[in-house]
Amino acid sequence: MTPNGVPATIEPFRKDLLEWAESNLRNFPWRDDSISVYEMFVAEFFLTQTPAENTADVYPEFLDRYPALEHVREASQAELAEMIEPIGFQHMRADALAEIASEYDELPTDVEELLQLPRVGPYVANATLCFALDRRLPVVDRNVNRVYSRVFGDEYPDGDADRREFALESLPEDGAIARTYNLALLDFGAMVCTKQAPRCSECFAREYCSYYQSVVADGENLDA
Ligand code: SF4
């Protein structure tokens, strides 16, 4: 264990994941280094419950038409919903964006204030501020939970709050590097440590991955 309660294997995992990120991060319209808080928020708001590839089909056009909250404020609910319709939940998403635009000219950059916005949970709030402003915040979704559960086994805690704390303690100290680490974790879960048929044979974590080690110890060969 490290002094902050995270297993010592976080150190090789963090190093290996950041190396992997150097040549494997996915390229999406919301991955620009100079993205604004509003642009990042819209992306994360759409990405919740929607695959990234689908979101990428709608996102650029949405920002073209509504480049800032003031433009969202001027739109009708029907106009917003029509644009969001291809990725679903269009009425819920349109209502929430309209409500936010009615109250704010600029989005808050304090995580607790962001969490007060309609339909905004810890994932969207933390991801928005981490990816737009290099804030050192835990970004935990289903992919990240799966990766950490497999790599750290029983040492990855149960419960959303404890898991966010674990993810926070796992981050590199520097905010910009923490941003890259969080992006890499999301992409690693989507591309390598997938829900079905994880690509263990090409994974850097086999030596210390609890899931891989336990499967091998049980004599069940994966795909290596
Ligand atoms: S070895 Fe397999 S289960 Fe472990 S992190 Fe890599 S892909 Fe996931």
Tell which one of 211, 216, 218 to mutate to probe ligand 1, the residue whose CB is within 8 A of the most ligand atoms: 211
Residue 172, in any domain of the structure = no
17 Cα–ligand 1 center, Å: 12
Q: Show the DSSP H helices in the chain as ranges.
A: 10-24, 37-47, 52-65, 69-74, 77-84, 90-103, 111-114, 122-133, 142-152, 160-170, 175-191, 210-217
pLDDT of residue 191: 95
> What would the pLDDT profile of 7-33 be if each residue is shown by its tens digit?
899 999 999 999 999 999 999 999 988
Residue for token pair 């923490």: 178
Does residue 215 have its Cβ closer than 6 Å to ligand 1?
Answer: no
Q: How many domains does the chain fold into?
A: 1
Tell which one of 14, 17, 151, 187 to mutate to probe ligand 1, the residue whose CB is within 8 A of the most ligand atoms: 151
Tell which one of 24, 194, 200 to mutate to probe ligand 1, the residue whose CB is within 8 A of the most ligand atoms: 200
pLDDT of residue 5: 74
Contact between 1 and 8 (Cβ < 8 Å) = yes
> What would the pLDDT profile of 68-96 be if each residue is shown by its tens digit?
999 999 999 999 999 999 999 999 999 99
> What would the pLDDT profile of 125-142 be if each residue is shown by its tens digit?
999 999 999 999 999 999
Residue 37, in any domain of the structure = yes
Q: How far apart are CA 131 and CA 136, in angstroms?
A: 9
Residue 104, in any domain of the structure = yes
10: buried, middle or exposed (CB in 10 Å: 19+, 13-18, 0-12)?
Answer: buried
Does residue 195 have its Cβ closer than 6 Å to ligand 1?
Answer: no
Residue 88 identity (one-letter amino acid): G
Residue 180, in any domain of the structure = no
Does residue 81 have its Cβ closer than 6 Å to ligand 1?
Answer: no
Residue 39, in any domain of the structure = yes
Residue 144, in any domain of the structure = no
CATH of residue 59: 1.10.340.30
Task: Give the torsion through C-alpha atoms of 52, 56, 60, 62, to 10 deg.
Answer: -70
Quote the domain boundaries for residue 91.
Answer: 29-133
Indicate whether 200 pLDDT > 70. yes
pLDDT of residue 224: 43
Does residue 198 have its Cβ closer than 6 Å to ligand 1?
Answer: yes
Does residue 206 have its Cβ closer than 6 Å to ligand 1?
Answer: yes
Q: Which residues of 148-175 are buried (b: 16+ CB within 10 A; e: fewer)?
A: bbbbbeebbbeeeeebbbbbbebbbeee
Residues with active-site annotation: 44
Residue 143, in any domain of the structure = no
Average pLDDT of the chain to the nearest whole number: 93
Residue 191, in any domain of the structure = no
**Please, which residues have CB within 8 angstroms of residue 215's CB and are 6 or more apart in sequence?**
221, 222
Indicate whether 154 pLDDT > 60. yes
Q: How many CB atoms lie within 10 A of CB 64?
A: 8
195-202 mean pLDDT? 94
pLDDT of residue 219: 58
Indicate whether 123 pLDDT > 80. yes
> What would the pLDDT profile of 90-102 be if each residue is shown by its tens digit?
999 999 999 999 9
